[in-house]
Amino acid sequence: MSMFNLVKVANPEEGAQNLFQLLKKELESDRLHVLGLATGGTMIPVYEKWVESDLDFKNVVTFNLDEYVGIHADSPNSYAYFMNEHLFSKKTFRKIHLLNGMAADLEKECAQYEESLQQYPLDIQLLGVGENGHIAFNEPGTPFDSVTHVAKLTDSTLHVNSRFFDNDEEIPHTAVTMGIASIMQAKKIVLVAFGEKKRAALAKLLEGHVTAEWPITKLLQHKDLTVITDLNFD
């Protein structure tokens, strides 16, 4: 039995507030011990809200979805840097898991990360979505049974992400990412999508057909999915 809850908000700030209330409730009910985190512009107002609040995460273990391959954690373009800047330097967590895109053996890095995910099953996984429907760095065509792996990024994703690389650092063409099966293991999934650029991906989700060409559609088969968006589909 799957539960799909579509939450319509006026703007990203209201969306961030909505997600904040959801997390607060789960924390206070002692249902949130392991939390999957996402990066990207969509998450900035979300993390701001947490940082301003008195939410206590010190008993929460976190896992990030993905990281670029070949970029140092201390580079402003890395997702580790993003997480530290917007959340980890301001809130205390029990344990933080980040994928290492500089690992000498990326396959081993992915296997160990997946092992940790089995050790700490996700209570909630936060997700954004790419314009082409990718979740984490699971691009169109990624097998639904994929676990944490090395992913090749599509031209579409490279184009969208290029705006973040305003220095001379080259945009990586690969990333390490939780797989679709890894994400689907979470007890609850909350996807946040704001702005017109996300319309095509959300429209595919709302059509109700599951297809590997739009990875987001796999979420329709999850038992507890909440989507928070400022887009109208009436």
**Which amino acid is it at 115?**
E
How crowded is residue 181: how many other Cβ atoms within 10 Å of its Cβ?
A: 16
Residue 213 tokens, joined: 């060409």
The question of whether 84 is a catalytic residue gets the answer: no
What does the pLDDT look like over 26-60, one tens digit per residue? 999 999 999 999 998 899 999 999 999 999 999 99
Cβ-contact 169, 71 below 8 angstroms: yes
Cβ-contact 10, 232 below 8 angstroms: no
- Judged by DSSP in three states, 65 sits in coil
The question of whether 33 is a catalytic residue gets the answer: no
Q: Quick check: 1 pLDDT over 60?
A: no
Cβ-contact 64, 79 below 8 angstroms: yes
What does the pLDDT look like over 68-100, one tens digit per residue? 999 999 999 999 999 999 999 999 999 999 999
Considering the candidates 18, 77, 132, 138, report the single residue annotated as catalytic.
Answer: 132
Considering the candidates 86, 97, 134, 149, report the single residue annotated as catalytic.
Answer: 134
The question of whether 66 is a catalytic residue gets the answer: yes
Q: What is the mean pLDDT of the chain?
A: 94
Q: Distance between CA 109 and CA 89 in Å, rounded?
A: 24
User: Span 166-183, mean pLDDT?
Assistant: 86
Q: Quick check: 133 pLDDT over 70?
A: yes
Considering the candidates 66, 67, 109, 123, report the single residue annotated as catalytic.
Answer: 66
How many helices (H) does the chain have, and how many strands (E)?
7, 10
Considering the candidates 67, 139, 149, 230, report the single residue annotated as catalytic.
Answer: 139
Higher pLDDT, 2 or 122: 122
**pLDDT over 70 percentage in the chain:** 96
Nearest to 87 by CA among 36, 47, 35: 47
pLDDT band of residue 110 (cuts 50, 70, 90) is very high
Residue 12 tokens, joined: 């990203």
Helix (H) or strand (E) holding 209: none
**Partners of residue 4 on adjacent β-strands:** 225
Q: Distance between CA 138 and CA 125 in Å, rounded?
A: 15
The question of whether 139 is a catalytic residue gets the answer: yes
pLDDT band of residue 108 (cuts 50, 70, 90) is very high
Please tell me the least confidently modeled range out of 2-6, 119-123, 136-140, 148-152: 2-6
Q: Distance between CA 17 and CA 10 in Å, rounded?
A: 11
**pLDDT over 90 percentage in the chain:** 87
CATH 3.40.50.300 fits 3-229, yes or no: no
Domain limits of the chain?
3-229
Residue 159: its pLDDT value, please? 77
Instruction: Write down the pTM of the prediction.
Output: 0.94
What does the pLDDT look like over 177-215, one tens digit per residue? 999 999 999 999 999 999 999 999 999 999 999 999 999
